[in-house]
Amino acid sequence: MSRLSQRVQLLLDEERHQRLRSRAVARGMSVGAVIREAIDVALEGDEERRRAGESFLSAARMSVGEWSDIEREIDDLYRRDVPGA
């Protein structure tokens, strides 16, 4: 685990502070540890989305053919999957 070196001041209303303290007590953690964990959970998705976007954008280009061929394939699939189409 990294050394804690940055201080942040956060103002909370009484209800949030009580909920936070209750969670910390119930889990046997400090209030600060609960806040750090919540930050990690909240920001985890951002990093995953960023990596997914980079992966998509760096993928090799694919040849998809002519639009008329793609349209014909879509129509064929639609007719096969939709009775009476």
Q: How distant, in Å, are the alpha carbons of 41, 54, 56, 74, 79 from that of 65?
A: 42, 25, 20, 13, 21
Alpha-carbon distance of 31 to 37, in angstroms, equals 10
pTM (predicted TM-score): 0.53
Q: Where are the domains of the chain?
A: 11-59
The one-digit pLDDT tens for each residue of the chain (85 residues) are: 578 899 999 999 999 999 999 999 999 999 999 999 998 888 877 778 888 888 888 888 888 889 999 999 999 998 887 776 5
